[in-house]
Structures are given as C-alpha cells and as structure tokens.
Amino acid sequence: MKINENEITPQELFENRRKFIKLGAASVVATSSLMELMAKENLPISNLTYKKDINPNNLELNTFEQITSYNNFYEFTTSKTEVKYMAHTLVTNPWTIEVDGSVEKPFTIDIQDIIKKYSLEERIYRFRCVEAWAMVVPWIGFELGKFIKDCKPLSGAKYVRFETKYDDDMFPDQARGVFASIKNYPYVEGLRMDEAMNPLTILSVGLYGKTLENQNGAPLRLVVPWKYGFKSIKSIAKITFTKDEPLNTWQDIASREYGFYANVNPKVDHPRWSQKRERVLGKLFKQKTLMFNGYEKEVAHMYKDMDLRKYF
Ligand SMILES: Nc1nc2c(c(=O)[nH]1)N[C@H]1C(S)=C(S)[C@@H](COP(=O)(O)O)O[C@H]1N2
Ligand SMILES: [Mo]
C-alpha cells in the first residue's frame, strides 16, 4: 500500500492502522511507520465520521499542536498558551443546547443527538483573529443553516444570538465576579439571519477528525470564516432567534473598537493597530490580510449597500 503523506487525513491514518493491525505480523513494518507518522505530526486519533474537504485552494494546514496550544478563551484565562492546561474543568458530557426566541416551538437538544442528526463534513478554513494572527483549521461540522431550518424560526426572526455556557465551576474567570476579565458573562455573539444562513457558516464539533478539544470550544462552537475570530463563539449552550441585533460581548466591552459585523477587512484598521497584515501561526513573515479573509466571492453580496467603515 502506497500512501502519499500529503494526501492523508487523520481519519485515514486511523483506519489504515486498524487494517494493518488486522493483517497481522506481515504488516508490522507498515504499521509502525504509520504510527511514526502519527506521532511525528502529533495527530489525534480520529473519532468522527465525515466527508473530506477537497481543499480546492490548497490551503496549508496549521498543525493540530498549533491549533490546540494557542487559544483565546477568556472564561479560563487571557493567556493564550495557558488555556489548554486549564481547560480540563470544562465538562462537556452531558451537554444540552437550548433553542428559544422567535421559533415555532422552543426546544432543548443534546449534543450527542446533534452529532447523530447532522452529517458531518470537513471544512478547511482560514481563521483570522482581530489581533492579527491567523491560521488554517480543518474543522469538522455542519452548516448552521441546516440547524436553523430545523429550528423553524418565525418570520420576525432577523438575527441569531449565541451564548456560551455560564457555570463558574467550569470556567474560573466567570467565578471571579467583578474581578473577571469579562464583566458580563456569558460570552454572547450574534449573526444577521443571512449571515447565519450563508453556506460558509458552520457549527463545529471537531477538528482534525476528532471531537473538539475543550480549549477550542467543545462540544459545539460557531465558525464564521470571513469574520474576526471573536465572532466564532465557543461552547455554545443557548441559541436565540431575535428581531433586534444582539449586543455581542466585545462590542459591549469596547464599542469603539469592536462592532457587530467584524468582517475581516485590510482597509479598516483597529483603532490601536493595523489590519493590513497578519502573522500565520508558525510562520516567520507576515502576509497580506485578504478582504473578507479570502471569502469575498461567497459573502461580499451581503454587504454591498453597507459602509464597512461604519458597520465594522
Ligand atoms: N466563549 C468564548 N468564545 C470565544 C472566545 C472567548 O474568549 N470565549 N474567544 C474568541 C476569540 S477572540 C477567538 S480568536 C477565537 C479563538 O478560537 P481558537 O482558540 O479555537 O483558535 O475564539 C473566539 N470565541
Ligand atoms: Mo480573537
């Protein structure tokens, strides 16, 4: 069996390894070389079944190690490198998501039922934090639009509001009260209905073939690849359909610096730093920031009549 290292997904590695183990002694050499490959790349063992992304733009993936070791998750700490050591206090089983607001009938759904109900696919996306660092992540998830249809929103539903879980046993920064980094927990985000229904917008349950690590927002997080990373809210516990634009956490903290839309835009600088360039994790040199993070073709139409300096 010949395997091109560049073409292989963690899922395939895992399945091939199982096949080799079944074959027995004759395959010991191949098995150990696959094991070596897994160890070298520090890849997780896949536990999700999903349709592979053909990666048409040939994006160069960041490693599992990079994606899971440098995180923004204020419920734990503002230190990006410490999150992964603290994230074990987040308990994701059991976990339910509450759906309410302008829907035919509010309901609660278990994360395991979500994973069973929606066929999962890989989405290899650029991810750009407002702080000007970036990466490429092979998310596993499903279109938010499919979930929204099943929620049966009423015609008055113009926005979708998301909330992270509020539990100060699980999230140490929530327990700090007035000394917390974010005063108004839970973390809140929102999308306009057309943004939420855009086929690029996903709810993610995994990355690199494996269920999400706690530090990346287990068990369910939003991924909106053309917007700054803070829109991609982690560890979602509640989804509410609203008629008014939700006040998202970062706008609440500093409305002069962070707005509702937060579309990646090299021409609109943050008040305290430039957005023209970005540093990809693991890369030495900065690269140009792309309009809508490289997804202009898919999303620009939603903003054609809007002044993107005003609606930042
Ligand atoms: N609940 C919650 N969601 C969050 C954050 C957070 O602090 N809390 N940080 C946001 C920011 S600023 C970024 S850049 C991304 C980081 O996601 P990652 O750690 O998986 O790279 O998560 C976003 N979602
Ligand atoms: Mo961010």
Task: Tell me the best of 230, 253, 279 to mutate to test the pocket of ligand 1, counting ligand atoms within 8 Å of each CB and taking the most.
Answer: 230
Task: Tell me the best of 185, 223, 234 to mutate to test the pocket of ligand 1, counting ligand atoms within 8 Å of each CB and taking the most.
Answer: 234
Q: Residue 16: what pLDDT?
A: 53
Chain segment 270-292, per-residue pLDDT in tens: 999 999 999 999 999 999 999 99
310 domain-assigned: no
Q: Are residues 192 and 161 in the same domain?
A: yes
Q: Which atom of ligand 1 is nearest to the CA of 164?
A: 1
Mean pLDDT by 10 residues, the chain (312 residues): 45 51 49 60 90 97 98 98 98 98 98 98 98 98 99 98 98 97 98 99 98 99 99 99 98 98 98 98 98 98 97 98
Assign residue 262 the CATH number of its domain.
Answer: 3.90.420.10
Q: Residue 42: what pLDDT?
A: 76
Q: Are residues 55 and 106 in the same domain?
A: yes
The number of distinct structural domains making up the chain is 2
Q: Residue 38: what pLDDT?
A: 62
Place of tokens 């994973």: 115
Question: Which ligand sits nearest to residue 125's alpha carbon?
Answer: 1
Q: What is the spatial order of strands in the sheet that 159-164 belongs to? A: 107-110, 96-101, 236-242, 159-164, 188-192
84 in contact with ligand 1, CB cutoff 6 A: no
Domain membership of residue 122 as a residue range: 45-303
Say how many Å lie between the CA of residue 248 and the centre of ligand 2: 13
Q: Residue 32: what pLDDT?
A: 61
Nearest-angstrom CA–CA distance, 209 and 250: 30
Place of tokens 């992964």: 84
Q: Are residues 154 and 290 in the same domain?
A: yes
Q: Are residues 143 and 68 in the same domain?
A: yes
Q: Are residues 38 and 143 in the same domain?
A: no
246 in contact with ligand 1, CB cutoff 6 A: no
Q: Are residues 32 and 84 in the same domain?
A: no
Q: Are residues 172 and 31 in the same domain?
A: no
Q: Are residues 202 and 239 in the same domain?
A: yes
Chain segment 142-159, per-residue pLDDT in tens: 999 999 999 999 999 999
pTM: 0.89
Nearest-angstrom CA–CA distance, 262 and 147: 23
Q: Are residues 37 and 64 in the same domain?
A: no
Q: Residue 278: what pLDDT?
A: 98
Please list all protein residues whose beta carbon sits less than 5 angstroms from ligand 2, which is an ion.
Answer: 72, 129, 229-230
Q: Are residues 12 and 97 in the same domain?
A: no
Q: Do the Cβ atoms of 245 and 261 come closer than 8 Å?
A: no
21 domain-assigned: yes
Q: Are residues 35 and 95 in the same domain?
A: no
Question: Which ligand sits nearest to residue 74's alpha carbon?
Answer: 1
308 domain-assigned: no
Q: Are residues 174 and 250 in the same domain?
A: yes
Chain segment 83-100, per-residue pLDDT in tens: 999 999 999 999 999 999
Nearest-angstrom CA–CA distance, 65 and 38: 12
71 in contact with ligand 1, CB cutoff 6 A: yes
Three-state secondary structure readout of the chain = CCCCHHHCCHHHHHHHHHHHHHHCHHHHHHHHHHHHHHHHHCCCCCCCCCECCCCCCCCCCCCHHHHHHCCCECCCECCCCCHHHHHHHCCCCCCEEEEEECECCCEEEEHHHHHHHCCCEEEEEEEECCCCEEEEEEEEEEEHHHHHHHHCECCCCCEEEEEECCCCCCCCCHHHHHHCCCCCCCCEEEEEHHHHHCCCCEEEEEECCEECCHHHCCCCEEECCCECHHHCCCCEEEEEEECCCCCCHHHHHCCCCCCCCCECCCCCCECCECCCEEEECCCCCCEECCHHHHCHHHHHHHHCCCCCCCCC
153 in contact with ligand 1, CB cutoff 6 A: no
